[in-house]
Structure 1
Amino acid sequence: MKSLLPGATLGVMGGGQLGRMFVHAAQRMGYFTAVLDPDENSPAGRVSHHHVRADYLDELGLAQLSGHAEAITTEFENVPAGAMARLAEHRPVAPGAKAVAIAQDRTEEKAHFTRCGVRCAPYAAITSEEDIARAGDDLLPGILKTSRLGYDGKGQARVATRAELRAAWQNLGRTDCVLEKMLPLAFECSVVVARGRDGAMVHLPVQRNLHRNGILAVTEVHEQCIAPAQAQQAVAATRAIAQGLDYVGVLCVEFFGLEDGSLVVNEMAPRPHNSGHWSIEGADVSQFELQVRTLAGLPLVQPRQHSPAIMLNLLGDLWFREAGRELTPDWAGVLALPGTHLHLYGKLSARPGRKMGHLTVTGPSLEAVRATALQAAQCLGIDPF
């Protein structure tokens, strides 16, 4: 396809915060935008030039989006792959339906990692009582995860015995699952890559992540966050995974760092990722500008990090620090700290566990950034890290 230059309209399936930040990046670069999302108050829909309020499989809605947009992406991995395939009959779509479908199924995803020569944790597919009986003892203790639709710690359970495995599978609705062996973890990290239709590929620096209750809490990006050899391994593995999919767009791959110094891949997301939000202020090209460039067929340049960065996820729990009362967090206190960048996603109501925004801290040195980030965390009631 020819490059779509500013003035064209770019579309996105999904109206959440990732779509909102894509829309902001596209508009800053001079593009018009169109969003398809059924929620009339979706964060991205409220700031886009066009908002198609329809279900993701609604034929009329898909036709309307195709009528507005000259190329279309997605902001969440659970958009129906069939909808992406339908859109691709009329418009360039990135990522493609095949990549989205693989990312939606943990069993297919792990098979793809293996084909690409990237190591994942030992696992077994669990689809029946017979699979439970056949699962090797070496996979216990493990984590049972639904093959589809699990995210942020949902759809999974830790199991130590075969009886617990059977009970967990029953509790998850006897749906298709994957049993993964629990490994001795030292840290978690992620890599964001962008790949164009011409095969050109660039990446953000490796991001070290801290999860709490299955939800990303803190991301750190600086030279000391991960050993150089591990960082090189993570980047090479992510590039291989993207290459193996003939991927077009922004892709994030998450890894576990083990106590023996090795890495295993956890999962991938065919879109920008929560752990890459720091790049809006901490790099000269953000993950959302990379998404715009890959969708529009523009040249890709290697992003340059110009400041150490720490990102804090802002969950709805911060609004309910006092039992029975909803209180607005102390934004003024946070913004009085040097190098703080507040992003709130425009969601109309807060609730525990809901991603309401993020705070990125940048500064001249890691020491300064860490000190400020810890001050901000204390101000907001976030546990230190």
Structure 2
Amino acid sequence: MATKALPPGSTIGILGGGQLGRMTAMAAARLGYRSVVYSPEAHSIAGDVATAHISGAYDDATALARFADAVDVVTYEFENVPEATVAECARRRPVRPGIKPIHFAQHRLREKEFFRKSGLGTADYQQIAGEGDIARATALPGILKTSTEGYDGKGQIRVHSREDLFAAWDKLGRRECILEALVDFECEISAIVARGLDGEARCFPIGRNEHRDGILRATAVPSGLPSAVEEQAKDYGLRLAESLDLVGLVALEMFVTRDGRVLANEMAPRPHNSGHWTIDACATSQFEQLVRTVCGLPLGAVDLLASSRMINLIGDEANDWARYLAEPTARLHLYGKGKARPGRKMGHVTYVMPRK
């Protein structure tokens, strides 16, 4: 595969048709690139702003070949694209990032083991795949999570005792799970790292996150944390990108404990909800940075231009669009989704406060 830069006018293929693909396509268009979106749906909000949308199942080799032949490079907007789909595309075009990041991100136990091997601290954890594992469980109290297919708080149950653990494992279908010990944390943070074809990597300013019902509610930058904590978080993010041999973006969510330790929780090898503030308050947005990495362009600056607080608009909250538009410090982003549902991310608003 060629490793030289793809010039403006080239076409980026995006696997997945959600809001992350939408904002990536918008960033690509601003730099003069075309985008083709591939998703199983006949219509997608990413396809609305792209050059073209190709509909097909993720195991449809014919449709995937048509998609890959229409683009110059491929990326993905969420990490649950099947590995086989990425491999099929990679036979025809460069895929950035490739299979390795999603291989680990799709499986929580593999992910935690990879963190440890990469030198990242984590909470205590153990595999729960049978009754014998439950009998030997020591990471209690904890959270039992399915090893695969969990997202936004789904597929996980808090447990306090061995009896709770057995009932939770039974409720989750007696499938392979990971038991993660509860962490007494002060806050949750995230580092988003971009790494280019030449190995250069840059970490965006650390965001301080707030979650509600397993869904990210808000991200504030600056984080307000001690510089030593922020440097540890950035170091973890950069180590992870290097270990993955990443070309693209990776977001690493972490806990900061009350005694100042940083513990890796989970990663996402694509743009991340906690990085949406970069569109309005950073020299380069995370979406533009993804376009730069996959096309082999120089990385953009990650200087913080303004203090910001990004808030997700969940369900009916997006109906208050007129109020947000009337607020001078608010920057409204709606995703063009049809029907609002409880728990559905309909958009976000970023409050921007120029730095003094």
TM-score bucket (shorter structure): over 0.9
Q: 2:96 is matched with which residue: 94, 97, 100?
A: 94
Moved more, 125-134 or 203-212: 125-134
Percent identity of equivalent pairs: 49
2:184 equivalent in structure 1: 184
Number of positions where the alignment pairs a residue of Structure 1 with one of Structure 2: 354
Q: 1:317: how far off?
A: 4.2
2:240 equivalent in structure 1: 241
Q: 1:365: how far off?
A: 4.5
Q: 2:48 is matched with which residue: 25, 46, 59?
A: 46
1:150 equivalent in structure 2: 150
Q: Aligned with 1:330: secondary structure?
A: helix
Question: In the aligned structure 1, how far is the partner of 2:320 from the partner of 2:198?
Answer: 47
1:21 equivalent in structure 2: 23
Q: Aligned with 1:334: secondary structure?
A: helix
Q: 1:302: how far off?
A: 3.0
Question: In the aligned structure 1, how far is the partner of 2:58 from the partner of 2:335?
Answer: 21
1:128-169 Cα distance to aligned partner (Å, 9 max, x none): 111111212xx1110001111111111000000101100101
1:61 equivalent in structure 2: 63
1:120 equivalent in structure 2: 122
Q: Aligned with 1:290: secondary structure?
A: helix
Q: Contact conserved, 1:203 with 1:302, CA < 8 A, in 2? A: no
Q: 1:343 is matched with which residue: 325, 333, 337?
A: 333
Compute the RMSD of aligned alpha carbons: 1.1
2:224 equivalent in structure 1: 225
Q: 1:55: how far off?
A: 1.1
Structure 1: 5+ residue runs without aligned partners?
320-328, 367-385
AA matched with 2:36: A
1:257-294 Cα distance to aligned partner (Å, 9 max, x none): 11111110000001000000000010110000010011
Counterpart check, 1:204 vs 2:196: no
Q: Contact conserved, 2:69 with 2:92, CA < 8 A, in 1? A: no
Q: 1:210: how far off?
A: 0.2
Q: 1:238: how far off?
A: 0.8
Q: 1:32: how far off?
A: 0.8
Structural mapping, 1:311-330, within 5 Å: 311-318=310-317, 329-330=319-320
Question: In the aligned structure 1, how far is the partner of 2:211 from the partner of 2:193?
Answer: 21
Question: In the aligned structure 2, how far is the partner of 1:56 from the partner of 1:225?
Answer: 42
Moved more, 269-278 or 90-99: 90-99
Q: Contact conserved, 1:308 with 1:363, CA < 8 A, in 2? A: yes
Q: Contact conserved, 1:317 with 1:353, CA < 8 A, in 2? A: no
Output the TM-score relative to the length of structure 1. Answer: 0.90
Moved more, 333-342 or 2-11: 333-342
AA matched with 1:276: G
AA matched with 1:253: L
Question: In the aligned structure 2, how far is the partner of 1:21 from the partner of 1:287?
Answer: 10
AA matched with 1:285: T
2:134 equivalent in structure 1: 132
Q: Aligned with 2:36: secondary structure?
A: strand
Counterpart check, 1:278 vs 2:268: no
AA matched with 1:142: G
1:111 equivalent in structure 2: 113
AA matched with 1:348: G
AA matched with 1:39: E
Question: In the aligned structure 2, how far is the partner of 1:114 from the partner of 1:309?
Answer: 32
1:8-53 Cα distance to aligned partner (Å, 9 max, x none): 0001000000000000000111011100011122110122111110
Output the TM-score relative to the length of structure 2. Answer: 0.97
Question: In the aligned structure 2, how far is the partner of 1:14 from the partner of 1:64?
Answer: 15
1:62-85 Cα distance to aligned partner (Å, 9 max, x none): 111111110000000100011111
Q: Contact conserved, 2:324 with 2:331, CA < 8 A, in 1? A: no
1:370 equivalent in structure 2: none
Q: Contact conserved, 2:20 with 2:271, CA < 8 A, in 1? A: yes
Q: Contact conserved, 2:145 with 2:155, CA < 8 A, in 1? A: yes
2:172 equivalent in structure 1: 172
In the superposition, relative to structure 1, how do residues 218 and 245 fare at CA in structure 2: closer, same or farther (>3 Å)? same
1:82 equivalent in structure 2: 84
Question: In the aligned structure 2, how far is the partner of 1:102 from the partner of 1:130?
Answer: 25
Q: Aligned with 1:20: secondary structure?
A: helix
Q: Aligned with 1:209: secondary structure?
A: strand
2:39 equivalent in structure 1: 37
Question: In the aligned structure 1, how far is the partner of 2:43 from the partner of 2:147?
Answer: 30
Q: Aligned with 1:308: secondary structure?
A: strand
Question: In the aligned structure 2, how far is the partner of 1:199 from the partner of 1:365?
Answer: 32
1:361 equivalent in structure 2: 351
Question: In the aligned structure 2, how far is the partner of 1:204 from the partner of 1:135?
Answer: 38
Structure 2: 5+ residue runs without aligned partners?
none
Q: Contact conserved, 2:195 with 2:202, CA < 8 A, in 1? A: yes
Q: Contact conserved, 2:10 with 2:33, CA < 8 A, in 1? A: yes
Question: In the aligned structure 2, how far is the partner of 1:293 from the partner of 1:180?
Answer: 36
